[in-house]
Structure 1
Amino acid sequence: MEQALFDDLVQSLKEAKAIARDQASASRRFKVTTPDAKSVREQIGLSQSEFAQLMQVSVKTLQNWEQHRRNPTGPAAALLKIMRSAPEVALKTLHA
């Protein structure tokens, strides 16, 4: 490894350590929010069992999302975002 690259990596690690210890502030922060499953379901107008079937999850999983005991992740979170912003397209695609 080139010395310059190694030095950059070491400096990055030192900065990360300082940020983790609140001794420095991050240059940028990203906040990722998961759509509220209940509001998406109500927007579409489906029952819990219909929505769970559409999402291909159990009703219990959907209830956990709606009651904020768990958060949808990965493809489920992405699908919820699509359903929130373009419900007609999502429903048409999923019912095809």
Structure 2
Amino acid sequence: MENALFEDLLQSLKEAKAISKGKLEPSRRFEMLSTDVKAVREQIGLSQSEFAKLMRVSIKTLQNWEQHRRSPTGPAAALLKIVAAAPEVALRSLHG
């Protein structure tokens, strides 16, 4: 590894440590807004069991999402965004 690249990485790690200890403010902050799973489910008028089948997850997983104990990630999060944005298209595609 080039010395300059190593020094950049080392400096980044030092900054990350200082930020995590509250000694330094981050240069930027990203806020990830999670989808309100219960609102999406109610919007399309499905029961928990029907929506869990549609999403291909267990009812327990769906309940954890709805009660904010867990958050959907990856493909499930993407599918939820699609269902929220275009429920008719999503339902037609997933049931077809």
TM tier, smaller: 0.7 to 0.9
SS in 2 for 1:31: coil
In the other structure, the counterpart of 1:37 is 37
Partners of 1:2 and 1:45 lie apart in 2 by 58
SS in 2 for 1:30: coil
Deviations 1:59-89 (A, max 9, x none): 2221222122322222212211111112122
Structure 1 unmatched runs, 5+? none
Deviates more, 1:4-13 or 1:35-44: 4-13
Q: Counterpart amino acid of 1:31?
A: E
Which ranges of 4 or more aligned residues in structure 1 deviate by more than 4 Å? Answer: none
Aligned length: 96
In the other structure, the counterpart of 2:5 is 5
Change (3 A) 1:49 1:10: same
Q: Counterpart amino acid of 1:12?
A: S
Partners of 1:90 and 1:14 lie apart in 2 by 45
- Kindly report which structure 2 residues correspond to 1:78-89, keeping only aligned pairs within 5 A, or say none: 78-89=78-89
Partners of 2:82 and 2:49 lie apart in 1 by 19
Partners of 1:55 and 1:11 lie apart in 2 by 43
1:38 deviates by 0.6
| RMSD (CA atoms) | 1.4
SS in 1 for 2:28: coil
- Kindly report which structure 2 residues correspond to 1:51-66, keeping only aligned pairs within 5 A, or say none: 51-66=51-66
Q: Counterpart amino acid of 2:65?
A: W
Partners of 1:13 and 1:23 lie apart in 2 by 14
SS in 1 for 2:81: helix
